[in-house]
Chain A
Amino acid sequence: MRNFRQNCFASLATAGLLLANPAVAATPDAQSRFDAANKLYEERKFAEAAGMYEQMLQSGSGSAAVYFNLGNALFKSGQMGQAIVAYRAAEVLTPRDPDVQANLRFARNQVQGPTLRPGRWERWIGTLSLNEWAMLAAGAFWVTLGLLGIMQMRPQSARALRGGAAAGAGVTLVLGGCLLLALATRPANRLAVVTARDVVVHNGPLESSQTAFTVTDGAELRVLDRKDDWLQVTDGTRRVGWLKRREARLLADS
């Protein structure tokens, strides 16, 4: 029974993923470029490999594997922050890929100093992508309204369907709540990853402002506000400060 439920859940999630992220099979050209980038990686030409993966993404030939490999190439070339951005992009496409999770965790563990650590709820919500939550909530919504419609059309079966409709409504509410939570904790535009080696976070959006704290390459920070070329960030504790926009990368940029 548990396996059945897990299978159902996985099937729904997969269906949602397919619907949510319209995917097409890789063209021969895209596959050949992917192989060429992999070859550079194997030759330990990490920077060149990363450049080639980037080109693929810019030309629209992106996939979770491309983001994943890009993360690896950036990681190996010492660009911790950029690697984390790539891994998180891959995570958006395949949130339950164990390889992506492992490398993301591995990269995060290398980051020294203040950084944002996802909470328990955020980690749980992150097991499904935002689109998957949307599909699940929509599916439950459709099923519930379908049952209600049948109850209108066939009054004689209303009594039998009433329990199912109530359960469907409950599931819809729960999934809707999860969807809202996922939307609220969505990293895009709210999360910045430091991409410079040692970055000074100032008390104000000015070069002359005093140092609030320092962060290192790969530190994940929550964006609170923006002003000109400055981002107001926090590391999840009470530390708040401003850093230059060019020293970090917003996840929306990926």
Chain B
Amino acid sequence: MESGSWNTGSDRGHRRMRLGWACLVVFLHLSLAAAHAVRFTTSLDRDTITLGESARLSLTFEGGSPQDVPVVPSVANLQIAYVGPSSQFSFINGQVASIVSHIFLVTPRQSGEYTIPAFTADAGGTKLTSQPLKLRVLKPSAPTPEAINAGAQPAFLKLQLPKKEVYLGEVLTCELQFHFHSSVQNYGNFSLPPISPPGFIAGKPVQSQNRRVQIGNAVYTVLPLVMTLTPIKTGELSAGPITAGVVVELASNRRRRDPFFEQFGFFMSGGEQKQLSLVTEAEPVRVLPLPAENVPPGFNGAVGDYRMTVSVSPTNVATGDPITVRVEISGRGALEALTLPEQTAWKDFKAYPPTTRIETTDALGVQGTKTFEQVVSPESSDIRELPPFSFSFFNPEAKEYRMLTQPAMPLAVRPGGVTPTPVIAAGNRGSGEVAPPAQDIVHIKTRSGAMATLGPPLVQQTWFLALQGVPVLAWVGAFVWRKRADALANNPRLRRQRQVAQLVSKGLDELRRLAAAKQSEEFFATLFRLLQEQIGERLDVPASSITEAVVVERLAHAGLGEAGCGALHELFQACNLARYAPVRTSEALAALVPKAEQVIAQLKELAA
């Protein structure tokens, strides 16, 4: 019985357990069924934004998740970028709820009303479709000058143009300035949509040096972006408005900033973050057409300020050979748009498309050199020169057209296969040396001229060097002569000695002549005078004061020997006798000459 009762009780318990299990299974079934009913919704964090700002689009799956990220529909002027997934689990009253979100960032390019179409997703084999969303994008507006002056604007954008009136094709360098109020602690996350004002071609912005300016009562930090604008159509255009987005950090009273992190430049370390949409004023620009007057021939639209150099190589070619014409155009302007003008004068040349190369000297790419290498080949051997090359442009500063011309350059073109006849290469070889316009070498000479040999130079020839000694010797001789003359002039005794010696020498010859002529009186007169002169010179007394009686004694004292004195006496006696008894024979007269020579010689040997 106990067993039965127990059994009875046990059966009842079993029934209850079976019922509980059945309820649990039903509950779980219902729960799973509820779980399998995935809910798919889409939402925007804001349905109205300003151009330059972004909206956050969330695709939320509750109770499941799609196998793949839903495909983003394409919307004109709306950029939708996937950010990433986000998951959330929750237990509510014992129930498990899972929420999976896929986040997108929606950035409009233009203002207006946008409809984001419905998304479709596949979650657990079930196709889910969301509802379309509306997004309204407002045009941003530039702040008023009063707001700027008062410092009420944490940031604003300004487009600075150098001038308001430009010529078609003129490159305009402008500055897009981000102004941040001094209350802005930090800024970043710039979003600058491609700048394309209608009627302009904008260059790539280049960041310039930051600076601080005071506007009204406020101080702003200016972050400038320099860029170029090139008008491509005439009329009243507008450079702007240009919009940009930026996230700024404003000082907040709620949290203190951490100076530790701040010193490492951590962005948004403390203040209040705010996304701003900035826009510039619409800057009116008047674009003038290029003047229709005085347009140079061959003008092909180049605007700017340029210089040109042209070189040609080689200049000695055969017909059909390539000649490279290198044209370098340097200066400021739209270098990219420069093209070589058509050269109508090059009709005798076959021209190939030129290659170009640009070397800029500034970050904006408007200053530099564009090099064209044009290959041409002469088609006739009659060609003597490369015709002049011209390049014209409009200078917007001077408001006039200008033409650069390279003069014709000589060429030597020979028929193919002929021995080359070189010509002078084009271009200046030196600043001071001007190449003559010769086409060929000077012809040969027809007369051989005087024969001459190339020998060693004169300065290496002995005879020439020896010859230079002649004037030196002559001068030395003249110098010595002069010295001797001076010495003679300063020594009367010596001068008299030489005069007497000369006189005696001539007198002896005269004596011989007179002896031969039997001129007795003249002979003895001459003899007597010679003796007087010689004795007077030796005794340093006047010749007229010399008499036999006076001198013999003094001569004996001077060293004249007895023989000498005797001979002198004889001669004096002969002179005296001749006055009364002249000698008639020439032999007798001639016999006296040796005696006179001997006596004079003895007198010369006496000490003066």
Contact = CB atoms under 8 A, between A and B. Distances in A.
A134 B457 contact: yes
Contacts of A150: 478
A103 B203 CA distance: 55
Given A78-B420, A89-B454, A135-B458, A153 B444 contact: no
Given A89-B454, A134-B457, A34 B448 contact: yes
A125 B448 CA distance: 26
Contact of B441 (A22, A38, A102, A186): A102
Given A145-B472, A149-B475, A102 B452 contact: no
B481 interface: yes
A62 B479 CA distance: 46
A103 B442 CA distance: 6
A23 B446 contact: no
Interface stretch (A1-9, A104-112, A202-210, A239-247): A104-112
Interface residues of A, number: 61
Contact of B448 (A63, A80, A93, A148): A63
Given A76-B419, A134-B464, A152-B482, A68 B444 contact: yes
Contact of B478 (A22, A92, A152): A152
B458 A146 contact: no
Interface in A46-74: 60-66, 68-69, 72-73
Contacts of A138: 464, 467-468
A181 interface: no
Nearest to A132: B458
Interface in B436-484: 436, 438, 440-455, 457-459, 464, 467-468, 471-472, 474-475, 477-479, 481-482
Interface stretch (B174-182, B370-378, B421-429, B586-594): B421-429
A152 B479 contact: yes
B448 A26 contact: yes
B80 to A, nearest CB: 63
B441 A25 contact: no
A102 B445 CA distance: 14
Nearest to A100: B442
Count chain A CB atoms within 10 A of each CB in B424, B441, B447, B464 and give the residue with the most: B441
B446 A38 contact: yes
Main secondary structure, interface of A, reads: helix
Contacts of A93: 452, 454
A130 interface: yes
B97 interface: no
A20 interface: yes
B577 interface: no
Interface in B300-358: 316
A168 to B, nearest CB: 11
A93 B446 CA distance: 17
A189 B1 CA distance: 147
B435 interface: yes
Contacts of B441: 72, 75-76, 102-103, 106-107
Interface residues of B, number: 43
Given A102-B441, A146-B471, A63 B450 contact: yes
Contacts of B444: 38, 41, 68-69, 72-73
A131 B445 contact: no
A142 interface: yes
Contact of A130 (B438, B440, B459): B459
A70 to B, nearest CB: 9
A20 B424 CA distance: 34
B313 to A, nearest CB: 10
A211 interface: no
Contact of A23 (B429, B450, B472): B450
Given A72-B441, A102-B438, A131-B458, A63 B452 contact: yes
Interface string A20-39: 11111111001100100010
A65 B447 CA distance: 7
A134 B458 contact: yes
A131 B475 contact: no
A44 to B, nearest CB: 9
Count chain A CB atoms within 10 A of each CB in B419, B425, B449 and give the residue with the most: B449
Contacts of A161: none
A155 interface: yes
Contact of A183 (B421, B451, B459): B459
A61 B451 contact: yes
Interface in A89-103: 89, 92-93, 99, 102-103
Contacts of B472: 145
B468 A102 contact: no
Interface string A168-184: 00000000000100010
Nearest to B442: A99
B446 A92 contact: no
B448 A30 contact: yes
A153 B475 CA distance: 9
Contact of B453 (A27, A60, A153): A60
B262 to A, nearest CB: 57
A68 B457 CA distance: 20
Interface in B403-441: 419-422, 424-425, 429-430, 435-436, 438, 440-441
Nearest to B473: A145
B58 to A, nearest CB: 71
A103 B474 CA distance: 46
B457 A131 contact: yes
A21 B424 CA distance: 33
A110 B451 contact: no
Contacts of A69: 444-445
Nearest to A21: B452
Nearest to A32: B448
A149 B429 CA distance: 52
A214 interface: no
A23 B442 contact: no
Contacts of B457: 20, 130-131, 134, 183, 186
B134 to A, nearest CB: 76
A30 B556 CA distance: 85
B349 to A, nearest CB: 23
Nearest to A66: B448
A148 B475 contact: yes
Nearest to B429: A109
Nearest to B422: A110
A99 B387 CA distance: 29
A112 to B, nearest CB: 9
Contacts of A22: 452
A212 B424 CA distance: 28
Given A69-B445, A75-B441, A153-B482, 17 more contacts: A21-B453, A26-B448, A30-B448, A31-B448, A65-B449, A66-B448, A72-B441, A72-B442, A76-B421, A80-B422, A106-B422, A109-B425, A110-B424, A145-B475, A149-B478, A152-B482, A183-B457
A-B complex: 5 closest residue pairs judged by Cβ atoms: A23-B450, A145-B471, A152-B478, A110-B422, A34-B448
23 contacts: A21-B453, A23-B452, A25-B450, A26-B450, A30-B448, A31-B448, A60-B453, A64-B452, A65-B448, A68-B444, A72-B441, A77-B419, A106-B438, A106-B440, A130-B459, A134-B459, A141-B468, A145-B472, A145-B474, A149-B471, A152-B479, A152-B481, A152-B482
